[in-house]
Amino acid sequence: MVKIRIIGGTPLEGSIQISGSKNASLPIMIASILTDQELILDNLPNLSDISRLELILCNLGAVIERGKNSQASINQNNTDGSRTRIKLQEFLSLNADYENVSKMRASFLVLGPLLAREKFAKVSMPGGCAIGTRPVDIHLDGLKKLGAEIEIEKGYVIARARNGLTGANINLKKQSVGATQNLMMAACLARGETTISNASMEPETKDLIIFLNKMGANIEVSGNNTIFIQGQERLGGANHKIMADRIEAGTYAIASCATGGRVTLNNCDDETLELPLRLLQEIGCNVGKTGDGILVENKNKELSPIEITTQPYPGFPTDLQAQFMALLTQAKGVSIINEKIFENRFMHVQELVRMGANIILDGDKAIISGNSTLIGAQVMATDLRASVSLVIAGLTAIGETVIDRVYHLDRGFDSLEKKLSNCGAIIERIV
């Protein structure tokens, strides 16, 4: 089994090109279901989740061509570099099967677009990282309000809209990124106007809105987390550049601080990381804007403790919680992290403790006693973000760290070892 080996103690120095956002790419690719016209996407990252979604879309009938520089290239003769072309003119199937959907939660988002365009969909209940139940009832309740008939049979959601979907007022009982995106895409082809209240307005959702409007959708957003969609008879093709991955950028910013390094993050937007970057400054790191990127440094290694609570955007992102915890093991004092988004998202704690961290769990609260000397150890990744927190810990630790189950990393980080190695890290894949 492939593992990652790290020799810690080297400050990161250099620059890192931030890839396109995974969490923006997946729903935008799924939006191809809404049209029979070609979509052209730039800045799509090379990730296993992207490849898995490509397979799901191709099974539905999509034709996908990726540039020859892509690891997931389907058409090796394509010369458009990182450009991806997607066209779903005719459906081969209206069934998204268990084998693929169970391995990646975002693939459940095919439900709404399939139902909207074809009036029928059969989609497996989702899987993905083991970070809590993350029920889909919010998705299904919203689709029912749009006129869908929903059955659950043998682990599949079977949805019908014999006369098509009809616009409705939907008030989400909880802010949900996935439900907001799923219902919004479905509403694009519904008759009349749909209003989604208490919607999640993460930057990735905003990128999806921009893209859908390029396709001919009519979507407007109010300042109180409300989305208005005027349904259209059909959507067309569009060109779009995927936004930069703010979680990847935040991760490398944290890694720079943890190692006492100085790293420039290129091709990223500091506005989508406003709160995490401000918190890095509060604990003692230097953060500045440079051209199209961000400079992050921590030369004195003197870090102050802090209390953090994960919240929907623009609050602190749960997807940076584990990485920040690894960093706070080096702060001089007691820090607290309150996880309010997902239960079971502290599975990395035990692995950090194996490396010498002093962390106590109290329900949804983690109490980190900092100034810990981390020692390299053999550890195991449990999910995507937990796995990269172990990478940060390994970069900080004394000696050798070996991380197992690195397939989690490949779901969300494009060329991680190469990017870190270019900044001086001693990191490699081993068998």
Residues classed as catalytic: 129
Angular region, 154: left φ>0, alpha ψ -120 to 50, beta rest = left
Cβ-contact 311, 341 below 8 angstroms = yes
Phi, psi of 367 (to 5 degrees): -110, 115
Distance CA 9, CA 11 (A): 7
Query: Element (H or E) spanning 420, and its range?
Result: helix 416-421
Cα angle, residue 100 at apex, residues 95 and 106 outer, rounded to 5°: 90
User: What burial class does residue 413 get, using C-beta atoms within 10 Å of its C-beta: 0-12 exposed, 13-18 middle, 19+ buried?
Assistant: buried
Place of tokens 């693939």: 107
Please state, in angstroms and as integers, the Cα–Cα distance from residue 88 to each residue in 57, 72, 104, 234, following that order: 8, 18, 21, 14
Contacts of 190 (CB under 8 A, 6+ apart): 116, 146, 147, 164, 165, 166, 167, 168, 229, 231
> Which token pair is 374?
């981390």
Pairing of strands 3-7, 426-430: antiparallel
Cβ-contact 386, 348 below 8 angstroms = yes
Terminal C-alpha separation, the chain: 6
Cα angle, residue 419 at apex, residues 413 and 423 outer, rounded to 5°: 145
